[in-house]
Structure 1
């Protein structure tokens, strides 16, 4: 049972040409598909990141420009108010009216103040509890440059985190009278947050703005506004005035794809970024779609290769099977469709080899059953013929033939001449034989002739004709020979054919004892 199981397993896992083609083709298709998918993934990953880097850079640049335009607009509005206030500075009622006008005309400011040269707030709108208070010395030092400025983020006396664009107030003679400042809150529903807060996406992308000290002026997480950010490559580069994009790890340790651009007017920086994980998730969705869409084509290709492999292997498998059974006469290659050159060439070669081998085998078989000297049948051939003859219903006659005084021919003329005589006698016997007769040389100068379906009397007549023809026939070198013949008959009864041969030998010996060159017979067996 174990042997049978092992044999079955060997048969199942036998590596034939069809399986080999299928395995190689499957490996080739799968390996190529995997290689294509892996290469495609890396190419798409690089393309996704590159596109996102470019998009974020463009986006950050656009927001920087928008913020710059906003601040320029604010600066222009403050410039106009500063001019009007300069001629009305002595009348605070008119100053407040101008602040009300500017505050009502635009939604750019959350508050407006007028500060004198000593840093004291002399007018404010809307009404806040800051009137009469002074700004910080640091702010005052900045404003004493008498140039339009945007103050760094600070907490106002009212407790709001804010930035403040300012514009100097100058008299007609050019004397510095103070400045007008607009307050823009950094937290809550403010103009700056509304301007920048529209640019937030569900894929995790967001942007933020930092001042020159890397302090957050805007962030999607309002609680982080005012926070100092450290160890951020994008912020470091944008605050140096560079515009660009790069893969970074933010302060929270998250991989990001960031684009950045500076705001020249203030030295601030805008950073637009998207989490790397979001890009890879999108890439994964895209790549899975590619894989799913490629599966049918891959299966189709494998199926076509399998069909082609079977068709390629089929003629070779049939030829191999025929080669294994080439010695069988039933082998037939006509049904093998060798439709390509190699198979057709193998088929042609196999046919030629088959014919040649069969011819050689037949020749060897004939040689095995043929007497080499006379080309008559030998004893092996006789045994095979007798087995078939005994199955026949008809009887047969047997002639036992011996050349008279053959030793003297060898002694006088030599063995070569004796061989020539044997060959010539064989030729004479074949000339007198019928198609069904069987002639064999049983040794030396002795021969047996079997005459199927011939009676004893007919066999005696045939023996006499042969004896006379030999007597009258001139052998090589003019040698004259005679033969003695013993005749018997086998009736296909219970007696063996070997008994008939034995009686023919006895009749032959009688012919020799009674003078040679004669035929003698015995009664049927």
Structure 2
């Protein structure tokens, strides 16, 4: 502490400024790093979700197209049954037309292969007993089979369509096989998405078996430890950060393929995403360095300027009893806490007087229960409008059957009702309007520079707000309102309030819970 007392003020200012700047720069850098890191993670998750969804949609479209193509072929086969030449031609066409299928077979109702593509010619005449053909024969409907091992040790999916004679007799099925370990259109859609940064996609069936994966050796194996697969097979799309079976944190997006009941997962290692973050923060640091050096230079320059108010205050301290000192102190620009405190020490007494006088004036003009303006404030408002010739509209209102509220629930509840009504008045009126409590349950809203039509709209809006409002303990209440404008309805400002009161009385007489607007005087 002794060192600080003996220290030069300018030195203390510079040290304080340097420390503040350093803390601000470090805080900004840390906050920026956190925000940038989270933004990269969120963008990667969103990107992977969109990519998985796109692949799922593309695969869904391919499978639907394959089913439609087989259904069309089945219809033509039924019309040419059992012409061997046509059956062979049709299976060859389906196999070679667009390479959607690795092989095509045509079976009769007993499972005997009547025709097949060239790469499955050895199946001709055989009875297929693998799961896909058996499922097609059993269900006799267009279907995409569960993945299974064929008799030739291929992991495949059979897409088939039943063949029915025009009389309804089941003739067999036409099926296209997709070998999951070989090239075809589906493998191009799903299997070729590996990137150098470790990003890749994989596909699982509803038994969580891998159908497509960068590691071909894993195809057909089941994955039960990945919590993301339950989400991917649940029928929706989304994104989530997970730790895979190798302990690597991955940012994954997932989607569902309804036609096959498969799930698609697109993922990228979190480290690959955050590697870009490190380079980005280095760039931010380098780009901010010139600005920070400039700021430090400005701090040295400002030190002299900051010490100037204290020098002026110290010089005036000897003459604080002089009346002119107050004026000189008021002109001093206090730039920081100490200087500002010293300046206020000179002005404290006078400022307190002004504050107390202002508070007394405020108390005199404010209703203590509702916080609204009172009659005394109304007098000054009307006087000002009269002097400045500012036209205004007035809305007088009171609560219907308020005496019943006080008699039934007591005056304490009645006071709560008045406070709630005051709140509704403030909410409905404009910022420049004056809400006034005249006494009891009688209120007034004075709207400067407001036409009669707008005032009537505001009054109606307030009436509806009150009608909808559930008052504490009491429940529903209504109000009646009267509207008039100055100088349209009277030459005197006080006379306008009387006209508004007459309209309020007319609203009461007319059944309450309504707005009555003073009619405009007729022009002779």
- TM-score interval for Structure 1 and Structure 2 normalised by the shorter chain: 0.5 to 0.7
Partner of 1:104: 96
| Inter-CA distance 159–27: structure 2 relative to 1 (3 Å threshold) | same
Distance 1:127 1:22 in 2: 85
SS at match of 2:174: strand
User: Is the aligned partner of 1:86 residue 2:78?
Assistant: yes
Q: CA deviation at 1:120?
A: 2.7
Distance 1:174 1:251 in 2: 51
Distance 2:22 2:112 in 1: 80
Contact 1:81–1:99 (CA under 8 A) maintained in structure 2: no
Q: CA deviation at 1:261?
A: 1.0
Partner of 2:390: none
Partner of 2:87: 95
Matches within 5 A, 1:296-311: 296-310=290-304
Q: CA deviation at 1:350?
A: 7.7
Aligned equivalent of 1:155, options 149, 152, 164: 149
Q: CA deviation at 1:308?
A: 1.6
Partner of 2:47: 55
Partner of 1:185: 179
**1:139-180: CA deviation from partner (whole Å, max 9, x where unpaired):** 355221111111122222233222121111111112111111
Contact 2:55–2:189 (CA under 8 A) maintained in structure 1: no
Aligned equivalent of 1:345, options 306, 313, 328: 313
Distance 2:97 2:183 in 1: 18
Partner of 2:57: 65
Q: CA deviation at 1:80?
A: 1.7
Partner of 2:115: 123
Matches within 5 A, 1:274-353: 274-310=268-304, 312=306, 340-347=308-315
User: Is the aligned partner of 1:202 residue 2:196?
Assistant: yes
Distance 2:10 2:126 in 1: 97
Matches within 5 A, 1:419-430: none
| Inter-CA distance 161–274: structure 2 relative to 1 (3 Å threshold) | same
> Given the two structures, how large is their TM-score scaled by the length of structure 2?
0.56
**1:384-438: CA deviation from partner (whole Å, max 9, x where unpaired):** xxxxxxxxxxxxxxxxxxxxxxxxxxxxxxxxxxxxxxxxxxxxxxxxxxxxxxx
Contact 2:130–2:151 (CA under 8 A) maintained in structure 1: no
| Inter-CA distance 114–31: structure 2 relative to 1 (3 Å threshold) | same
Partner of 1:21: 13
Q: CA deviation at 1:264?
A: 0.9
Distance 1:291 1:96 in 2: 71
- How many residue pairs are counted as aligned between the two chains? 317
Distance 1:127 1:153 in 2: 20
SS at match of 2:37: helix
Aligned equivalent of 1:31, options 23, 27, 33: 23
Decide which moves more: 238-247 or 19-28: 19-28
> Given the two structures, how large is their TM-score scaled by the length of structure 1?
0.56
Distance 1:272 1:200 in 2: 10
Aligned equivalent of 1:173, options 167, 177, 192: 167
Distance 1:37 1:275 in 2: 25
Query: Which has the greater radius of gyration?
Result: 1
Partner of 1:215: 209
Please tell me the root mean square deviation across aligned C-alpha atoms, in Å: 2.6
Partner of 1:490: none
Distance 2:182 2:12 in 1: 72
User: Which structure 2 segments of 5+ residues have no match?
Assistant: 321-524
User: Is the aligned partner of 1:252 residue 2:252?
Assistant: no
Distance 1:124 1:15 in 2: 99
SS at match of 2:147: strand
Q: CA deviation at 1:186?
A: 1.2
Distance 1:166 1:90 in 2: 19
Contact 1:184–1:191 (CA under 8 A) maintained in structure 2: no
Partner of 1:142: 135
Distance 2:195 2:61 in 1: 24
| Inter-CA distance 126–278: structure 2 relative to 1 (3 Å threshold) | same
Contact 1:108–1:191 (CA under 8 A) maintained in structure 2: yes
Aligned equivalent of 1:132, options 125, 129, 136: 125
